[in-house]
Structure 1
Amino acid sequence: MDSKPSRGAKLKEWIRRYLPCEIAGTIGEFGGAGLVYWTTGSLAAAALAGTIGASIGYYAIAFGTAARRYHHADSRRSGPLRGVVAALLALRSLLVEFGPAEAVDSLAVRPFAFYVGPLLLGSTMAGWIAAKFFADIIFYLCTIVSYERFGSLIARKQTIPEEAHDGSIDSITVA
């Protein structure tokens, strides 16, 4: 029996993992870009604000999820030490999973795309939407490679065996 997950299963796993982060990041991205563009009229300033807003929204969710998973899985420690260890492991997880993608995305691709998109398309909103899709493709290509390659260093849902009612062993997912 082949234990390799199907493409559909992997796609569902990635969507479940990244969609909440993506929603928060998109709100921060368009909110930051829109607010700065509305107050300054500068596409360059809006591009930077959108990039920063996307990162804040995205990583707030990603960090919280990773820290919660590590905290829940650590039954050996208690009190503040458990929280500190969970936070440090979550930080490591985010650096491994997102570090390379974020460097490429935030330092080059996203600000450039958010600046050039409106100029090429002649519409600020259409340009920003196109820029977001373009930047997200690059970001997720890098992120998914890291996620799949370095999975043992990344916070994931854990599967543990549990006795089924009929005595057989089934898998369950925790936190």
Structure 2
Amino acid sequence: MKWNVKEWLRRYGSAEVLSVLATLGGAFLAFELTRNSVSTALAGTWAGNVAYFGYILALDIGQTRRQLHAAGQAYTFRTLLRNLRALVVEFGLAEVFDSFLVRPALMYYLPKAVGNLAGGILLAKILADVTFYIPAIVSYELSKKRLRRF
């Protein structure tokens, strides 16, 4: 597999920035409302996911719309389903493991271990991203040839 670091940074970089902000915001809000570590971990995980995947989906839709418009074709509901399928292939395996096990567990334990909510959540996010991006990038590279041609 070719190392496409610039492409990966373009694809994932802005989504990561949004995800960090949403993760911290969701975790802090949940902590302030509940003072519960489980709620804090889950809220941080899912707020980050919504921001991340919302941005990636918007990016993919925009790119596909431009491609189709240049070819004189319309973006349809079927095209949206193809965009969604490509995302499931790219992130599915990595996301299930990440969102239901790795990230919430790290966001639960690390703030306690480091003695700081923000530092623990941020450290948890960084560590979880390592286990997330390895399978996600491999899947993305494999899916480009078949699932991202519109």
Q: Judge same fold: TM > 0.5, yes or no.
A: yes
Residue 139 of structure 1: CA displacement? 0.7
Misfit runs of 4+, over 4 Å: none
Asked if 1:139 is matched to 2:132, the reply is yes
Whole-Å Cα distance in 1 between the matches of residues 147 and 22 of structure 2? Answer: 24
SS in 1 for 2:76: helix
Amino acid at match of 2:113: L
Asked if 1:28 is matched to 2:22, the reply is yes
Asked if 1:103 is matched to 2:96, the reply is yes
CA radius of gyration, larger in: 1
What residue in structure 1 maps to residue 77 of structure 2? 84
Q: Does structure 2 retain, via aligned residues, the 8 Å contact 1:71–1:83?
A: no
Q: Deviations for 1:21-61, whole angstroms, at most 9, x for unmatched residues?
A: 11121121111111000111111101000111011100111
Residue 86 of structure 1: CA displacement? 2.8
Residue 154 of structure 1: CA displacement? 4.4
Structure 1: any 5+ residue segments left out of the alignment? 159-175
SS in 1 for 2:83: helix
Aligned residues: 148
Deviates more, 1:139-148 or 1:106-115: 139-148
Structure 2: any 5+ residue segments left out of the alignment? none
Whole-Å Cα distance in 2 between the matches of residues 154 and 111 of structure 1? Answer: 30
Instruction: Please provide the CA RMSD for this pair.
Output: 1.9
Amino acid at match of 1:43: S
Which is helix-richer, 1 or 2? 2
Which is strand-richer, 1 or 2? 1
Q: Does structure 2 retain, via aligned residues, the 8 Å contact 1:44–1:115?
A: yes
With structure 1 as the length reference, what TM-score do the two structures score? 0.77
Whole-Å Cα distance in 2 between the matches of residues 13 and 154 of structure 1? Answer: 17
